Amino acid sequence: MDALRQPPPGVDVATLGHDRAADHTVAPVHAAGGCSACKVGVAPGTALAASIAEATAMFMRSVEPVHGLFVLNICLQIFDGVATYQGVQTGMGEGNPIIATAMAHLGIGSALLLFKAKACGCLLLLRRMGGRPLVTGALVGVAAAYGALSFVPWLVQLCTLV
C-alpha cells in the first residue's frame, strides 16, 4: 500500500476538499489514479501507474484518428457551404432537393447556414463519442460521401470555369 502517497502529516483528511474521510489507500478513486481534490494518487513506477499509463495511451491512439477525421469533415462542410453559396449565386443549381427547397423559402445564406450548422453539430457529437467502434467508420463514410458528392463535383465545375 505504500505505492500510494498519503496526505501530508498533520493534515486532516476531511479538510482536503471532499467528504471521503477514510484512509486514502482503500478509496477506489484514489487507487484508480488519484484524487484531484487532495492530490493523493498513484506513485510513479508502480504496476498500477504503468497500467493506467498504458490504458491512457491506448485511448489516445484510438482518439487521434477520430480528431483528424473530425477536422477533415468540418473543412469539407465549410468548403461545401462556401462552394454551394458561390455556385448558386452564379446560377448553378443545388443538387440536394431538400436544401434547394429550403433556399427557396429561407434564402440561400440562411438555408446553407442552417444545414451546415446541423451537419457540424452531428460531427461534433461523433467527435465526442471518441474511441467507440463505429465512430471512425462513420467519419470516414461522411468524408468519402462529401468528397465524392461535393468536393469533386465543385472542383470539376471550377476547372471548367478556368
pLDDT of residue 61: 60
Whether residue 94 contacts residue 150, with contact meaning beta carbons closer than 8 Å, is answered with: no
> Could you tell me how many residues make up the chain?
162
Q: Give domain limits for the chain.
A: 1-43, 61-161
Tens digit of pLDDT for each residue in 92-147?
A: 888 899 999 999 999 999 999 999 999 999 999 999 987 787 998 999 999 999 99
24 membership: H or E segment, kind and range: none
pLDDT in tens, 27-73: 444 444 455 544 445 555 566 656 666 666 665 565 578 888 999 99
Q: What is the pTM of this model?
A: 0.61
pLDDT, residue 24, reads 44
Q: How far apart are CA 72 and CA 3, in angstroms?
A: 43
Per-residue pLDDT, 62: 55
Spell out the alpha helix ranges (H) of the chain: 28-31, 47-89, 97-106, 108-128, 135-146, 152-161
Which of 25, 64, 19 is closest to 48 using CA atoms? 25
Q: What is the C-alpha to C-alpha distance for residues 95 and 51, in angstroms, rounded to an integer? A: 52
pLDDT on residue 44? 56
Residue 122, amino acid:
C
